[in-house]
Structure 1
Amino acid sequence: MKRRTFVHLTGAAAATPWAAQADSQPPPWPTRIIRLIVPFGAGSGNDIVATLIAEPLARALGRSVVVDNRVGANGSIGADAAARAAPDGYTLFMGTNTTQAANPALMKKLNYDPIQNFAPISRIANTPALLVVRPGLPAKTLTELIALAKAQPGRLTYASGSAGTIVPAAMLTRQTGTFMLHIPYKTIPQGLNDVVAGQVDMMFTDMATGIPQVKGGKVRALAVSSLQPVAALPSVPPMATTLPGFELVAWYALYAPAGTPQAVIQRVHQEVVRIVDSPAIRNRLTHLGLQPVTSTPAELESF
């Protein structure tokens, strides 16, 4: 009886300061579905990593985490959608070096500020680019590819699906004095599919996207853009073996819209670090050619 009376009185607000204070408290978080915006297409490395993180994060938070692919404009459409989202804890963003670092330099107009519009949560992983060629191309090594490009200027083609796949190709042609025809695609998987089909000669692809095609014999891997070989493809040499100093490593990191409550940031950070550092997820990321890396929000902000 006393309990029912107490509930009734507090429910009726009872005109007490304590009741008013209780009613003003925000509801516990989360109470509904959380959206994880991915700025690149399904099957891209960014998407694969986000999907890998989303399921255990949903279990930890007790609410569904839905991956929302917002594709286009070199990742800026997805980044802009995340930047404009309500900072209520129900939108997260899987950012990359493309959206947070390259786009401000590459694009004349950017509708978001990669620093002011985002609250950093944690780094997730580093990833080199993987240079692959169509199986029928008569080049078994990077040295042979360079020789072929020099012998046939403008005849070889390369695909791209983001700044992270354009930049290493530009570095390659600049360092070797070669010219190849650039064929841009909306997403990395679309470009890679045409390399598999023999419609395009080569591509620098995400590790997570390219490794299954390499292991399946659909494309031939010539090099990785990190200074050291990747554990998932130990026989594939670094670009720097042939072109000294060649290095390009991309990264994935988790953000929220600026202004998201600090309590939410800390909770997501705690869970994401635990997930990425778990043996199962670390092993999965490593097998996809990625290097798992976590950080504090402050470390990501200054990265």
Structure 2
Amino acid sequence: MQHNIRRPHMKRRSLLEFHLALLAAGITPVVSGAQTWPTQPIRLVSPSPPGGAADVATRLIAKHLAELLGQAVLVDNRPGGNGVVAGLEALRGGKDGYSIFMGSTTTLVANPYLMKQVPFEPATDLDPIALVASLPFVLVVSPSLPIASVKELIAYAKERPGKVTFASANATSFVAASTFNQRAGIEMLNVPYKGAPASLTDMVGGRVDISFVDFSSARTFIESKRLRLLAVTSAKRSPLMPQTPTIAESGLAGYDVVGWTAMCAPAGVDPAIVQRLNREMQKILSRKDVQEQLAALGQDVILGTPDEFASFMRTERPRWGRMIRNAGISAE
């Protein structure tokens, strides 16, 4: 026999009296942390140095997140170590949702192939929140060099094996240059930097010859003719610079190296917080003004869920592994 049990409806007054009775008895009602989050400022830990395109984009996101969440969102720049310094700092922040990692191609998929010992495993130590944007790099050279095209650069480097230098501001730019080396059959010397601003300053000063760098960081140098733009690293031309050829169409067929940025949380953060952050990120990235500001930085917005981001990383990791191996890069 089935019994229709009618649950009593607890009115607002009765609910208030119930909570007051609990408090009087010394019992505190349990409230989920995700329901009250955030109650304090949030840190976005970034592996980028201040001033670069990734940093500008992170600060733009922080501004809009603060408005949506009703809490201050602070950017904590921790450059160095292929992004490992920032990743470890974010993980040390704990699993309460107040320490968020702004990751990238380097930190989330490339490092396991570039470093013999990575102190954290992105696939298990971080929970994906949202992809942010993709960003092709540009190939720039010092105007002091007699080079005006990719073909001329290759010819110049072939005549001077091991003498032409390239600045690598992060692992992605290093992979882009190393892949170029391998495809072109040349040998350029790597000069590592902690970020794009320092590398570009040295290029202008004549201390390094070429660089694969994000467009935003190089833009003012290109427009003032202190650096010469040769090509973009993506498979298709960029809408920002439609007259600039791709490396692929300049003689290295199939060349396609594009980085991306993303937001992650230390593994174990309440899934409700992850979903909340993803919802707010989709609102921010869907705004036309934000898309235009990111486009001015050479970045194309990527929308999607945490699950779609996780699937994307599972595809990207082996792809970057193949590129790194094919470029002859050994883990260090």
Give the TM-score of the pair, scaled to structure 2: 0.84
Give 1:83 deviation, angstroms. 2.5
Q: In the alignment, what sits opposite 1:156?
A: 164
- For residue 15 of structure 1, what is the amino acid of its counterpart? A
Indicate which of 245, 255, 262 corresponds to 2:271: 262
Cα displacement string for residues 128-152 of structure 1 (whole angstroms, at most 9, x for unaligned residues): 1111111221101111111111122
Indicate which of 24, 34, 38 corresponds to 1:14: 24
Contact 1:30 1:63 in 2 (8 A): yes
Matched, 1:215 2:220: no
Q: In the alignment, what sits opposite 1:272?
A: 281
Q: Equivalents in 2 of 1:259, 1:43: separation in Å? A: 32
Matched, 1:35 2:46: no
Task: Write out aligned runs for 1:1-303 (5 A).
Answer: 10=20, 13-15=23-25, 20=28, 22-23=29-30, 25-26=32-33, 28-242=36-250, 243-303=252-312
Contact 1:38 1:47 in 2 (8 A): yes
Q: Equivalents in 1 of 2:133, 2:48: separation in Å? A: 16
Give the TM-score of the pair, scaled to structure 1: 0.92
Contact 2:91 2:99 in 1 (8 A): no
Q: Equivalents in 1 of 2:203, 2:194: separation in Å? A: 15
Q: Equivalents in 2 of 1:231, 1:197: separation in Å? A: 30
Give 1:163 deviation, angstroms. 0.8
Q: Equivalents in 2 of 1:10, 1:215: separation in Å? A: 67
Cα displacement string for residues 93-113 of structure 1 (whole angstroms, at most 9, x for unaligned residues): 111010011101110111111
Q: Equivalents in 2 of 1:208, 1:118: separation in Å? A: 28
Contact 2:97 2:265 in 1 (8 A): yes
Q: Equivalents in 2 of 1:186, 1:280: separation in Å? A: 30
* Partner SS for 1:37: strand
Q: Equivalents in 2 of 1:259, 1:106: separation in Å? A: 26
Q: Equivalents in 1 of 2:21, 2:220: separation in Å? A: 58
Q: Equivalents in 2 of 1:24, 1:33: separation in Å? A: 20
Contact 1:211 1:289 in 2 (8 A): no
Q: Equivalents in 1 of 2:201, 2:154: separation in Å? A: 23
Q: Equivalents in 1 of 2:32, 2:311: separation in Å? A: 33
Q: How many percent of aligned residue pairs carry the same amino acid?
A: 38
After superposition, the Cα gap between the structure-2 partners of 1:55 and 1:154, relative to the gap in structure 1 and judged at 3 Å, is same
**What is the total number of aligned residue pairs between the two structures?**
296
After superposition, the Cα gap between the structure-2 partners of 1:256 and 1:153, relative to the gap in structure 1 and judged at 3 Å, is same
Give 1:11 deviation, angstroms. 8.6
Give 1:122 deviation, angstroms. 0.8
Cα displacement string for residues 195-254 of structure 1 (whole angstroms, at most 9, x for unaligned residues): 122221110002232223222322111011101111111111100012111111111111
Cα displacement string for residues 51-98 of structure 1 (whole angstroms, at most 9, x for unaligned residues): 121111111111111110111111111112222321101111111010
* Partner SS for 1:205: strand
Q: Equivalents in 1 of 2:288, 2:263: separation in Å? A: 20
After superposition, the Cα gap between the structure-2 partners of 1:31 and 1:183, relative to the gap in structure 1 and judged at 3 Å, is same
* Partner SS for 2:234: coil
* Partner SS for 2:109: helix
Q: Equivalents in 1 of 2:305, 2:81: separation in Å? A: 29
Q: Equivalents in 1 of 2:59, 2:309: separation in Å? A: 21
Q: Equivalents in 1 of 2:136, 2:244: separation in Å? A: 12
* Partner SS for 2:23: coil
- For residue 145 of structure 2, what is the amino acid of its counterpart? L
Q: Equivalents in 1 of 2:59, 2:45: separation in Å? A: 11
Contact 1:231 1:287 in 2 (8 A): no
After superposition, the Cα gap between the structure-2 partners of 1:24 and 1:268, relative to the gap in structure 1 and judged at 3 Å, is closer
